[in-house]
Structure 1
Amino acid sequence: MNVLAIVLEALLGLAFVMAGIMKIAGVQMHVDNFNRWKLPQWFRPITGIVELAGGAAMLAGIWVKGLPALAGILLGITMLVGVLVHVRIRDTAKNTVPAVVLLILAVVVLLIQGPDLDQLFG
């Protein structure tokens, strides 16, 4: 397996697991962010569950072929929506760049591991 892919999967997996847990737990920073983004609070734990599931799949994908590509799709879509939310409210670059970086990293994992998707569905 590609060492770069393993490192990216571990970093992304841990980042999204942590972010998901914090959203589900209702950490004040995330509550404030959802208010600033003009998103309903009921959407915060749903986002957290998606991030937690995607992060866990990314971590499990270190051992299960195809799973990182699937997680890359899920997390890539999640981060694309996140970037669009930042753009919609005309957020600062400082606040938008982390979402863009996570989107790019999810796409990189998808591109590296994409050929293994058939092992999940084939």
Structure 2
Amino acid sequence: MSAITFFATTDLERIVEFYIETVGADVWLEQPDCTILKYDNQLLGFCEREDADTEGILTFVADDRAGVDEMHERLADRAREEPHENETYDIYQFFAADPDGRTVEFQTFLHPTDDV
């Protein structure tokens, strides 16, 4: 069994392009007014609506600090901060915003216990 998390967006084409071109997701399934994207083991659905869902945080986990730094370079104009260590959660991270204003986080675990 798997799961899909859906979000409303006011500009489906722009948000899909962002997650494919900038983040590196792939189209998993196209529907009439929704596109479901796959990023590693995560399925994200975006559907064209009058208002965007912008609550919550989409977190993308990199293999290492270099992966987080690379995403920060790609998202320099959208990043809200520099990558940094977060001792509370033992991660290296930064937050940014997608085209809808939704919070996205890019992180790596500094001392992972096992593969997810």
Shorter-chain TM-score bucket reads 0.3 to 0.5
- The structure where strand makes up a greater share of residues is 2
TM-score (norm 2): 0.34
Higher relative contact order (CA 8 A, sep 6+): 1
- The structure where helix makes up a greater share of residues is 1
